[in-house]
Amino acid sequence: KLSAIPTTVRTTCPYCGVGCGVRAQVGQDGALAIAGDEAHPASQGRLCVKGSALGETVGLEGRLLSPMLRAGEGLHEASWAEALDKVAGGFRKIIAEHGPDAVALYVSGQLLTEDYYVANKFMKGYVGSANIDTNSRLCMSAAVAGHKRAFGEDLVPGCYEDFELADLVVLVGSNAAWCHPTLYQRIVRAKEARPGMRVVVIDPRRTATCDLADLHLPLKPGSDVWLFNGLLGYLATQGALDSAYVQAHTVGLGEALDAAGEAAFLAPGGREAALLDVARACRLDPQQLLAFYELFANTEKTLTAFTMGVNQSSSGADKVNAIINCHLATGRIGRPGMGPFSLTGQPNAMGGREVGGLANMLAAHMELDDPSQRAAVQAFWDAPRMADKPGLKAVELFRAIEEGKVKAVWIMATNPLVSLPDADQARRALEKCELVVASDIVLGTDTNQLAHVLLPALGWGEKDGTVTNSERCISRQRAFLSKPGQARPDWEIVCEVARRMGFSGFDFTAPQQIFDEHARLSNWQNGAGSQRRRVFDIGGLAGLGRAEYDALEPVQWPVRRQGEDTQRLFGDGRFAYPDGKARFVATRARLPAHLPDAEFPLVLNTGRVRDQWHTMTRTGRSVKLAEHVPEPFVDLHPQDALLCGVKAGELARVTSNWGTVVARVRHGGGIARGSVFMPIHWSGQTASDARVGAVVNPAVDPVSGEPEFKHTPVRVEPF
């Protein structure tokens, strides 16, 4: 039974980036009742099946409830003092012997902003290394890079209301019906109310989201830049560009048009030939392609939402910029019902970005490569040794661990042995690592089995803090359950280690103190000489007392003054670059890093299923959620199955150049010939090792470091 204060608490769902408001109440019988929060602007009372089942996913079974230390093959319980001394002592020794870049943190979009803030301050301001990266690298770092290149800062221009106000919603690489369900429901309702609204889904798979689509473009995996470059060329030749907007508010259209192949469109009789070229490159029906281009050209209120299908690519940042280019060129940004919109995967990927939780960011949207901003953060933190160069990004980090360059890693709230690409490499890395520390809520994950120190963390419903969703809305996660065992909040654990390492600046005793410091840093001086104008600013939320912090209502940043928030950015045509102008990026289409061949003739695409979350450490506890998809599967076209000699319902082995995984064959997931789809959720602790990450290729986008989860050449064989 759960114990708790028997009142209804308003909190936020811990799963996807929509960030729905939840009302939670523990009854006298110990059962947890969950309902949607009508007052939360992101969800207006809606919850999807995962959010509705939250009550089934809490509880103490399988929880890590006390610190543990490894002795030989086994783990034994230890006191907090012993465990924290082991971590602090280990980090101190390795830093003294090998320098600050020999240690690293690998954190998570599951952390609350306060946890993230303290972890980032610890590494970048006190250890003196930027070797802190996050599992958000795996899902949205391409969007970050794309935003920074286009706008001068990592900024999502629009809000969820734009999905309802748009006359054309384009969903690219997004199965929103399963992965952002309540936001998808808002589109469904808007379309019911305004049947003239159009929805285009661009996805190699015919997913559940396509049920809403007026047009589905099943493009060839990896060909998005061809598609959006073609759109830019088409818009230019149709006179559909907003020249006045481009002139006043942007730089670089000419180069972008060159890269997009405008010349081919402009040649005599070239438009039809150019369209055919794009259709061939994207393996699309030319008539359908033209229908999409015409719809986009003729619909002022167009919203283009994109997510993992765009980001998880070795050209992810270019895909993002190819989309943004089309919106800048038509001036469709920053106004109601229009703009490019990045849908984040995790509940607090955005909060992590705000505090600089990526290895190439600083804090408060300041930049590691800007000496004046570095100096400003150092002064604010009173930091003894600031990181002065970007740290290792997720995939690089685990390579550096295997190579012995990074000798200690502290993993928080994530399970990289399941979720990283080339996950067997990650296992080899941790097996070799001198000191592996894991903070987690559960004991028996693949990753935790290799940890030398396990630190019990509080989970959802037990801890207090804030998260930021895809529309820049900061919401409170509130505690309503008793703290189990000896578990502690992540921020407190980091502070304890920092203090043991002799670092001042970690005397926080409550999350609102951390939030206050984060808010004050957000409008701290830009640094003398800095040319950058930061948009991220929540200075209006500084100085909240405990009661005000506890009562904080959802609020969209920037919040420059208390009581004010900002629904949309760039409505005034001013961007974050010093000259106030947005940048077109010349995106040259390129093929995925690894192409199918005779040995590996099919292309593996990975993603989520509707009722599971990440590596299932929570959703896996719900019987109801397991009913939807009870076991790992590989979905492929029946003709490909025939050629591979595998049958629906039987087990098959899926092998790439990097590893092998076994799963049950099925059809019906809308898979085109030449592709296969596998879900990401299952771990190495199922009957057969079902970590699809072991198969995924480790190629990354050179701009963002995001891995190519959507395009790994594989073969499928009978098991």
Member of 50, 86, 205, 427 binding ligand SF4 (CB under 6 A): 50
Measured between alpha carbons, how far is 156 from 304 in angstroms, rounded to an integer? 12
State the amino acid at position 659 in one-letter form. Answer: G
Member of 41, 51, 352, 632 binding ligand SF4 (CB under 6 A): 51
CB of 14 to ligand SF4, least distance (A): 7
Measured between alpha carbons, how far is 314 from 308 in angstroms, rounded to an integer? 12
Q: Does 13 bind ligand SF4 (CB under 6 A)?
A: yes
CB of 52 to ligand SF4, least distance (A): 7
Contact map string, positions 177 to 196, toward ligand SF4, x by CB under 6 A: ---xxx--------------
Member of 2, 4, 9, 16 binding ligand SF4 (CB under 6 A): 16
What is the distance of C-alpha 262 from the center of its chain? 33
Q: Does 19 bind ligand SF4 (CB under 6 A)?
A: yes
Q: Considering only the stretches 48-56, 214-222, 425-433, 438-446, report the one whose residues sit in contact with ligand SF4 under the rule CB under 6 A.
A: 48-56
Q: Does 47 bind ligand SF4 (CB under 6 A)?
A: yes
Q: Does 467 bind ligand SF4 (CB under 6 A)?
A: no
Q: Does 41 bind ligand SF4 (CB under 6 A)?
A: no
Measured between alpha carbons, how far is 440 from 456 in angstroms, rounded to an integer? 6
Q: Which residue is nearest to ligand SF4 (CB)?
A: 51
Using CA atoms, how far residue 621 sits from 54, 61, 414, 550, 559, in Å, is 10, 9, 17, 30, 39
- Three-state DSSP at 113 gives helix
Residue (of 28, 24, 2, 27) closest to 14 by Cα position: 24
Measured between alpha carbons, how far is 146 from 232 in angstroms, rounded to an integer? 17
For 475, the enclosing helix (H) or strand (E) is strand 473-477
Q: How many residues bind ligand SF4 (CB under 6 A)?
A: 14
- Three-state DSSP at 216 gives strand
Task: Lay out the sheet containing 555-556: strands in order across.
Answer: 465-468, 473-477, 555-556
CB of 444 to ligand SF4, least distance (A): 24
Given the complex with ligand SF4, which of 19 and 592 has the nearer CB atom?
19
CB of 11 to ligand SF4, least distance (A): 11
Given the complex with ligand SF4, which of 182 and 445 has the nearer CB atom?
182
Member of 2, 4, 9, 15 binding ligand SF4 (CB under 6 A): 15
Q: Does 20 bind ligand SF4 (CB under 6 A)?
A: yes
Q: What are phi and psi of 70, to 5 degrees?
A: -85, 135
Q: How many CA atoms lie within 13 A of 109 on its CB side?
A: 26
Given the complex with ligand SF4, which of 185 and 513 has the nearer CB atom?
185
Given the complex with ligand SF4, which of 425 and 477 has the nearer CB atom?
477
Given the complex with ligand SF4, which of 131 and 342 has the nearer CB atom?
342
Q: Return all residues near 125 (Cβ < 8 A) that are at least 6 apart.
A: 377, 378, 381, 383, 384, 385, 386, 387, 505
Given the complex with ligand SF4, which of 491 and 613 has the nearer CB atom?
613
Q: Considering only the stretches 3-11, 176-184, 428-436, 441-449, report the one whose residues sit in contact with ligand SF4 under the rule CB under 6 A.
A: 176-184
What is the distance of C-alpha 292 from the center of its chain? 28
CB of 43 to ligand SF4, least distance (A): 6
Q: Considering only the stretches 44-52, 348-356, 545-553, 674-682, report the one whose residues sit in contact with ligand SF4 under the rule CB under 6 A.
A: 44-52
Burial status of residue 43 (CB atoms within 10 A of its CB: 0-12, 13-18, 19 or more): buried
Contact map string, positions 130 to 169, toward ligand SF4, x by CB under 6 A: ----------------------------------------
Residue (of 311, 238, 295) closest to 271 by Cα position: 238
> Among all chains, which residue has been given the structure tokens 């399941």?
418
**Distance from first CA to last CA of the chain, Å, rounded?**
42
Given the complex with ligand SF4, which of 108 and 182 has the nearer CB atom?
182
For 290, the enclosing helix (H) or strand (E) is helix 286-298
CB of 211 to ligand SF4, least distance (A): 17
CB of 23 to ligand SF4, least distance (A): 12
Burial status of residue 96 (CB atoms within 10 A of its CB: 0-12, 13-18, 19 or more): exposed
CB of 347 to ligand SF4, least distance (A): 7
Q: Does 18 bind ligand SF4 (CB under 6 A)?
A: yes
Given the complex with ligand SF4, which of 185 and 567 has the nearer CB atom?
185
- Three-state DSSP at 168 gives strand
CB of 202 to ligand SF4, least distance (A): 21
Q: Considering only the stretches 40-48, 95-103, 388-396, 428-436, report the one whose residues sit in contact with ligand SF4 under the rule CB under 6 A.
A: 40-48
Q: Considering only the stretches 9-17, 111-119, 385-393, 578-586, report the one whose residues sit in contact with ligand SF4 under the rule CB under 6 A.
A: 9-17
Enter the DSSP assignment of 136: G
Given the complex with ligand SF4, which of 246 and 343 has the nearer CB atom?
343
Member of 4, 34, 48, 362 binding ligand SF4 (CB under 6 A): 48
Given the complex with ligand SF4, which of 18 and 412 has the nearer CB atom?
18
Q: In this structure, are residues 498 and 29 in contact, taking their beta carbons and an 8 Å threshold? A: no
> Among all chains, which residue has been given the structure tokens 């609020």?
555
Given the complex with ligand SF4, which of 22 and 672 has the nearer CB atom?
22
State the amino acid at position 287 in one-letter form. Answer: Q
Measured between alpha carbons, how far is 506 from 31 in angstroms, rounded to an integer? 37
CB of 34 to ligand SF4, least distance (A): 9
CB of 345 to ligand SF4, least distance (A): 10
Q: What are phi and psi of 603, to 5 degrees?
A: -110, 120
Using CA atoms, how far residue 305 sits from 152, 154, 343, 494, 586, in Å, is 20, 16, 7, 36, 21
Given the complex with ligand SF4, which of 19 and 351 has the nearer CB atom?
19
**Residues of the shown chain interacting with ligand SF4 in the complex, contacts defined by CB under 6 A:** 13, 15-16, 18-20, 43, 47-48, 50-51, 180-182
